[in-house]
Amino acid sequence: MNPADSALDSAAIAYARALLRKPMRRQKMGPVLAAAAFAAFSAVTFAVVMVVAPPAVVQHLPSDRLDGN
């Protein structure tokens, strides 16, 4: 028998198969939030260290400018 000659409604069969299909698993938010929190903490820590750390290059004044004359 030709499948096109079937008495069953193909749209209804497709709908029923979609209902019977296993639902998609959703991604857990815990690891995503942990990674975002780690990135935010790292960024804030790096910013604080850059503000608190002394400058890397220090240029001292020549001795003739330190005399005050």
Residue 2: its pLDDT value, please? 62
Distance CA 63, CA 67 (A): 7
* Predicted local confidence at residue 12, as pLDDT: 87
* Average confidence (pLDDT) per 10 residues, the chain, 69 residues: 68 89 86 97 96 80 67
69 vs 54: CA distance, rounded Å: 30
pLDDT number for residue 46: 96
What is the predicted pLDDT for the residue at 3? 59
Query: So what's the pLDDT on residue 8?
Result: 76
For residue 9, give the nearest of 19, 1, 23, 17 by alpha carbon.
Answer: 17
